[in-house]
Amino acid sequence: MGMLSFLSGRSFPRGITPPGRKAQTRTEPIRRLSFAPRMVLPLTQHFGKPARPLVQRGQEVVRGEPIAEADGWHSVPLHAPVTGSVEGIELMPTARGPKTEAILLRTHPGDSQTVRWAQPQDLGALSRRQLLETIQAAGIVGQGGASFPSHLKFDVPEGRAVDTLVVNGCECEPYLSADHRTMIERTEDVLAGVRLGMQALGAPQAVIGVEDDKPDAIAALEGAIEPGEPIRVGILRAKYPQGSEKMLVRSLLGREVPSGGLPYEVGVVVNNVGTMAQLGYLLPRGEALIERIITVAGPGVERPGNYRVPVGTPLRYLLEEVGFEGDDPSRIILGGPMMGNTVAFLDVPVTKGVSGVLVMPEAAQAGEGREAQPKPCIRCGRCVEVCPVGLNPAELGRLAAKRQYEVMEERFHLNDCFECGCCSYVCPSDIPLVQYFRIAKALNRERAS
């Protein structure tokens, strides 16, 4: 590995290079998905407090209108993705299993579904705080998967100067190409968002990290940056997990975020290109986040591609539209294959943080995803060679088997593991290392509380 590094982009040490499997979708222009007859909008689609409903059963709403308000600063509002009527507010299943409150909308079939609700503002005249409030009012959350409210990300604690806005255009997860298409087709929106992000942070410069397997995206961005503008594209090696916040900061700037800390502690805030495109498109128009770009791919999908999907579209509807027949939820992954999870039911909606919907082949396909019995660790050291954080997964796995969870945390830095899955990916003994680490962390948390 590493030996050819001078030929390609910069990178953090270690990590893995799984097959990209992006050919199915990377050249497909973004298409619009049709509007489902019924939309499901959970009040919690973000990291933080649930939104508070503003509508009642039977009420008519227009596309773009707020239907739930933020409950305080650590919350974001929700907007109607379609013109239609409120069917009710009910407990609905979520991707992870437990039911939560959601607003149900019936789509008006004959409606043209243009956005009918907008409050444009002169953004240049806003103070930093006012800009953050505008971002919150637009209901924007991180589009990369974590669903962290964007205004909170930009709300850096008093006295902490951020010198660089880092933008994540790596898309290092296999199969996904939504960010790739966004950078090519919505280059201006991305850059407008980056400029707004710099304004919100008071950051003097921005770097957009893109992997070297996306030369067209790199060219598009570089072509659209104004001469002399303090925004640059950082070319990075295509490698997983290049797009994780901490690795990205290391690869682009040579800085390392301290253990347990956040990027602003080294003067950086990291955002996804998808989020930047939303910011750059929505804010000047005074509109809100009601749809997003999603890669739908995987064996068994008849029309794979990148779709502009209204938030709240039921997964079952989406899968039917792309020509997938089958109803085994354990084959459907939300997000990428390295860090995404399968769903509990097909009757769950697409939410603001879903970057991909992948249909994985039936279990036990050749090589990938094989579900074998774990065997004893042969101490091959491969997991150690790939862990981007510099942990010793072999030792952690050995301790987990002996239930020495405290030792894992105290002596082997368990809490620095961000569950990227590289160790499990390479283990020839099929030891479910990450799964062990999740359990160990959960038990340690339980014990501490």
Per-position x/- string for 82-121, each x denoting binding to other proteins as judged by CB under 8 A, each - no binding:
--------------xx------------------------
To the nearest whole angstrom, how small is the minimum distance from the Cβ of residue 177 to ligand SF4?
Answer: 23
Q: For other proteins, which residue of 105, 257, 277, 311 counts as binding (CB under 8 A)?
A: 257
In sequence order, which residues have a C-beta less than 8 Å from that of residue 411 and are 6 or more positions away?
none
Choose the stretch contacting other proteins; rule: CB under 8 A; options: 133-141, 177-185, 303-311, 428-436: 428-436
Site for other proteins in 383-412 (CB under 8 A): 383-385, 387-392, 394-395
Residue of 111, 128, 418, 444 interacting with ligand SF4 (CB under 6 A): 418
Q: Are strands 66-69 and 52-53 parallel, antiparallel or unpaired?
A: antiparallel
Tell me: does residue 108 bind ligand SF4 (CB under 6 A). Answer: no
From residue 362 to residue 401, what is the string marking binding to ligand SF4 with x (rule CB under 6 A)? ---------------xxxxxxx---x-x-x-xx--x----
- Give 238's Cβ-side CA count (13 Å radius): 15
**How many amino acids of this chain bind other proteins (CB under 8 A)?**
70
230 CB-side CA count, 13 A: 13
Q: Which residue number, 58 or 367, has a Cβ lying nearer to other proteins?
A: 367
DSSP 353-372: T--EEEEPPSSS-SSTT--P
Report the nearest approach of ligand SF4 to the CB of residue 370 (Å).
15
DSSP string, 142-174: -TTTT--BHHHHH-PPTT----EEEEEE---SS
The count of other CB atoms within 10 Å of the CB of residue 432 is: 16
Cβ atoms of residues 432 and 397 within 8 Å: no
Could you tell me which of 234, 245, 170, 173 has the C-alpha nearest to residue 206?
Answer: 234
Q: How many residues lie near ligand SF4 (CB under 6 A)? A: 28
Interface pick for other proteins out of 375, 402, 445, 447 (rule CB under 8 A): 375
Among ligand SF4, other proteins, none, the one that 397 touches (CB under a kind-dependent 5 to 8 A) is: ligand SF4
Q: Are 193 and 285 in contact (CB under 8 A)?
A: no
Rounded to a whole number of angstroms, the minimum distance from the CB of residue 103 to other proteins is 24
Phi, psi of 439 (to 5 degrees): -65, -45
CA distance 366 to 346: 26
63 neighbors 82 (Cβ within 8 angstroms): yes
Phi, psi dihedral angles at 6 (to 5 degrees): -70, -15
**In the bound complex, what is the minimum distance in angstroms from residue 422's beta carbon to ligand SF4?**
4
DSSP secondary structure of 346-412: SS-B--TT--EEEEPPSSS-SSTT--PPP-------HHHHH-TT---HHHHHHHHHTT-HHHHHHHH
Of residues 162-181, those binding ligand SF4 (CB under 6 A)? none
Among 416, 441, 443, 444, which residue interacts with other proteins (rule: CB under 8 A)? 416
Specify the DSSP element, H or E, that contains 193. helix 187-201
Rule CB under 6 A: say whether 321 interacts with ligand SF4.
no
Q: 431 touches which of other proteins, ligand SF4, none (CB within 5 to 8 A by kind)?
A: ligand SF4
Q: Which is nearer to other proteins, 252 or 276 (CB)?
A: 252
Residue 20 as a binder of other proteins (CB under 8 A): the answer is no
| Max Cα distance, the chain (Å) | 64
**Identified binder of other proteins from the candidate list 258, 323, 442, 447, rule CB under 8 A:** 258
Q: How far is the CB of 136 from ligand SF4 (least distance, A)?
A: 32
Residue 133 identity (one-letter amino acid): E
Please list, in sequence order, all residues whose beta carbon lies within 8 angstroms of the beta carbon of residue 247, skipping any fewer than 6 positions away: 12, 15, 241, 388
Question: Which residues would be at the binding site for ligand SF4 (CB under 6 A)?
Answer: 377-383, 387, 389, 391, 393-394, 397, 417-423, 426-429, 431, 433-434, 437
Binding site for other proteins (CB under 8 A): 16, 18, 96-97, 163, 174, 246, 250, 253-259, 261, 266-267, 329-330, 333, 335, 337-345, 358, 360, 366-370, 372, 375-381, 383-385, 387-392, 394-395, 413, 416, 419, 421, 424-426, 428-430, 434-435, 438
